[in-house]
Structure 1
């Protein structure tokens, strides 16, 4: 018999005299087949009208079903049928506030456990699940909406999330709209935005605008879409424009050519009396470089596998790929390289193949130059720039140790580096400075408040929560307050005077304030971010790629994704995907050429 095994059915007697081996039983487990067959029978009972004892009604539609099934499905119905409510004795119950289609879909889910969220049904299904307290359906709808934030959908999602009081979804949709203003205000949905939301939108300091003139253009487009109804809002909307940031020739031209604009009561005074405050989050003028790592591929038999990423990708401030070029051959298949930016150039060091090599990449002419070799071989190390100087810190090196004098047998021995090296531009050489207090690899490293910080990392035995700080004026590393968590494979990013830790084994952004010596938990990631990379662009941190599976075996759905964390409003949004799946790579930010 399937799913069964023989067991002794022993009978304990007083004084434990004997056990009768002749009596046996069968312990059976049908958990693989039973739930599906049970649901199927319930579904058939409903279809046949067998034992149905209640009818739900919405918008004139009647849905016969079983109280017991509904009670097991949602606490809302359990409470309704418990006896304390009048509905517990009614044969027909009107469910107000939900559409007939959504109610039918929820009842179908109760009997089948299966459902499909679509663009057409997501809002009505979410509202029904929210009202009837079906949390797993509500969560699926939220995931659907957050995963499909686009310039042409984010405003509608923002308005809807506000309507259903979903603060998390509302913040994400609003942040997405703020970041992609240029694409959002030219999308068709912009014209349907309620005026109170438009005011919140254009008044936000985090609005990403290349030129303030675009805000005026957006307001005028929205008003003229239904001028008779919306003209009364025009002056109130323009009060949120930062006129001091608008080109005077543009203002003169629009006053001469746009009758509706010129005839706004008090428009001249409005243009003169604006403060000089610019928006705090202008579009970052720079690019992101992605180097190294692992991507999808096929082995020589055509079977899906992984392969080293041998290209360097260049992304704009919206994370759209603008170019890709072959990576330096010496860096191919080299795990654990490190990189940093100094004087607009990228310095790359180490790696499992190059170990002690150092290179300078000049984005201005797409050229590579070999630098003087490191004093120590290393990979999975870190780099930072302090006072214009490049520092190389920590890492590991697999050294060969011979087992006998004739060197016939050997084995690899992993050496954790504590040494710190600094590059001398004049002599093209590296020299040693104070070593780390504790040797680590695969750690987070950044410069903040004129000091270098190293967070966590791997040690010989396990991960660590220690945090080490380098003071160049004293040439000394010292321990500071440790992280509240063990930190492995994380990235450290500095924005203003705070450090933000992302990726690796963290399940939220962790903010460290060196001045206050305090840690604070911030937003959670949208997708897995193990083996991801991170880099800072303005007040935003771009977290690229990642993998939640074995490092060299399988890719994960998040390996193409890019998450953007805004430190000013503590929101994490998903932006356009990478052109390839990628993990275990390095990302750096360079000024726009």
Structure 2
């Protein structure tokens, strides 16, 4: 051996502790050298005090302090059944335990009492892995019973996120009224207000006599301002239990006066409802519908932009190719109205209406307009869609206006435009529809503002943004200039210019900003170029920023904002 060799060796037997514990377990099973018998309800378990004291603070305090159990030959445990304690003993002596859905709750209860923290943590992870919308409410109750904070947070998150599935579980019907009030009143509840109403009514009807006294408090949790008007009108208003409560009837009448009022000034005795939807239930999406894409082909594409993921998604295609139709959003659906049908060589002017449900991603046929038209303009608000002007079947310039009532699914005739124009920009505010510019029959620009007074509450179209002063409407297109029109003063204010002259583009408002998509631009050498640009204007800072590119060049398309609950959209 050379002089550099170590003259000592530190030996560590990694298997000794495992072997030692294994042998102790064999001694325990044989009843040898045990010095205490732990008794449960109907069984006795001979054990070693030193092993049990080393395994948990509970037994350490019991056997190493001045408690009488430290010298007793037999110790009785209360509140733990024999099968559960047998598993605990096996875990203590072997380090292994089989956790199942049938024993996990008993193991958590016993581990909590006996202070086996690692076992509690393992059971907690097992429960989190087993958690479903059908059992998450039970896990909330369990977490409160044993002060399991992380389990409660995850179960609560699932209950709020998966509201539709959770509301169908039997556990929900067994909640106390305070638990249900807390659940339905949570701002993070991910669901539609119609379903909130159905859920509380289902809970009440589970025990009508015992629970109908809570109807008043529960009904307050329904944010009636965000209930679909048709559901409010046909279902909530006609529910016998709601009609039996004076408070609910009064609250419902106030909501209906706000939603269905024909006047912009609501009486002071009508208290406002909630000012915003639940935080994560509704999301705004920008949607481009149809138009002409690469090579100027009329497209059936429907593109959805998700701002949170900064991605474009393709929705179900339009049922047929339509040129110069209009598209509006209403109650979580997209309405496409009129246009030139490109289904055959004759190019038929249509009065057809097609409706896309974002929830189902399916198109259906709606009630047709009274007059076939294209190159018209449409606007949607609350329960109505207005379809304005355009070109008719005989290529005549139309000044007619018609209105669709989504509650009764009917179209009606309204007052005509003073001057018939094509492609006007349209917005509505304070009981008036405003038409800005447009083209005459020779496609010459028209410098004209038209206003029509219709009795309905304030609204904004996708073409305009009611900005810093609430009386401003913003106008973009045909030139690089952006101007804001002050409704109250009947004056214009210049805003920051777009980067290029744009026409035949789409524009909508999302998150209090104006988004402009595609269109056609005029280059410096006066040639027309199709655009795939996607730009955003912030009225607060009066600045433009690029949001990237569209999936393809696009013009003469519909551009709108749809607020809904995303189900399959990430």
Taking structure 1 as the reference length, the TM-score comes to 0.44
Task: Tell which structure's C-alpha radius of gyration is larger.
Answer: 2
